[in-house]
Amino acid sequence: MHYEAEHTGNFNDMIEIEKLTKRYGQHVAVDHISFKAKQGEIVGLLGPNGAGKTTTMRMLTTFMPPSEGTAKVAGFDIQQDSFEVRKRVGYLPERIPIYPDMTVWGYIAFWAQLRDVKNMKQVDAILDRVQLLDRRKTLLRNLSKGMRQRLGLAQALVHDPPVVILDEPTIGIDPQQVIEVRDAVRQLGEKHTVLFSTHILSEAEQVCDRVVIINRGKIVAQGTPATLRTQLQPGAHLFVQISGASAETILKLLRTIPGVSDAQPNGNGFSVRTGTKQDVRAEISGRVAGAGYALLEMRPVAMTLEDIFLDIVGREATP
């Protein structure tokens, strides 16, 4: 088939999403979301599990059509010119797709050929880039989880697509590999437009130029990580361990400290939330010492997005 596809819109916008909606029966998985991604931009899609991240990505990769709305990838409509879109997208699904009985090289070469790569040197090049070239004859069933992740990345990049879509690429791998993958994604931003999903705020913060946060299929917020953090993280979250009195007494004490919105027992210590952005750590240590107790430990807890959402949702629920 030959497509005389027409570029429309601003070529600079590699991804344009316009009121994209997906319904499963009564359930609305993605609800009228719209955003754009420019060339070379790394956009993080942030949201808790079930927020609609994967569904959005599947629509963008033409795996499933939207119920309403449109999207364009590299200027091609995902429904009208789906083949043109597919040629220009590299996709890494959340679960790394594996043919257990293929070799590393054979696997990458297979996807390369399916995507019209003529020069098989590209296969070696991409394997070299993800440091799997020395494993080229290994069967996939014998690869470690981290290696599979890199293999998945290689698969998504072998045809040098302008747009790369990565669904939770850092899930389930060890911390060292997480760092590697994040570095790899950051490097991608030099040549490719990257849309990647995560539910870890700090990851989005580190990697992305821009973050789109969705919950229950709707965009909750979008912007650069710095602005979002200030917008979304109104309070801090501390873990303290105090000895010298009963938990009841200490809880009472903590709750009376100005700026502390809530305190709860948490393991052998306490979770402390602050309602404002002011730093209450000095205040806490002062009060604890003043009361004659010993402050054994105090550290900030990185808030996951889910915590923040719990906050937001909690606030939305009780206005």
Residue closer to another protein (CB basis): 102 or 171: 102
Distance CA 220, CA 213 (A): 5
CA angle 194, 197, 202 (to 5 degrees): 100
Residue of 2, 49, 100, 248 that binds another protein (CB under 8 A): 100
Tell whether residue 93 is a contact of another protein (CB under 8 A).
yes
Tell whether residue 113 is a contact of another protein (CB under 8 A).
yes
Tell whether residue 120 is a contact of another protein (CB under 8 A).
no
Tell whether residue 21 is a contact of another protein (CB under 8 A).
no
Q: Which range, of 92-100, 196-204, 251-259, 266-274, touches another protein by CB under 8 A?
A: 92-100
Residue of 8, 19, 101, 144 that binds another protein (CB under 8 A): 101
Backbone angles phi, psi at 258, to 5 degrees: -60, 140
Backbone angles phi, psi at 191, to 5 degrees: -115, -30
Q: Which range, of 83-91, 230-238, 241-249, 303-311, touches another protein by CB under 8 A?
A: 83-91
Q: Which range, of 38-46, 96-104, 236-244, 254-262, touches another protein by CB under 8 A?
A: 96-104
Q: Which range, of 12-20, 135-143, 192-200, 299-307, touches another protein by CB under 8 A?
A: 135-143
Tell whether residue 86 is a contact of another protein (CB under 8 A).
yes
Q: Which range, of 84-92, 171-179, 203-211, 231-239, touches another protein by CB under 8 A?
A: 84-92
Backbone angles phi, psi at 169, to 5 degrees: -70, -15
Residue of 98, 125, 245, 298 that binds another protein (CB under 8 A): 98
Residue of 28, 125, 133, 139 that binds another protein (CB under 8 A): 139
Tell whether residue 149 is a contact of another protein (CB under 8 A).
no
Residue closer to another protein (CB basis): 107 or 270: 107
Show contacts with another protein in window 155-214 (CB under 8 A): 155
Contact of 47 with 29, CB cutoff 8 Å: no
Token pair listed for 127: 């394997």
Give the footprint of another protein on this chain (CB under 8 A): 1, 23-27, 58, 61-65, 67, 83, 86-87, 89, 91, 93, 95-102, 106, 110-111, 113-116, 138-139, 141-142, 155
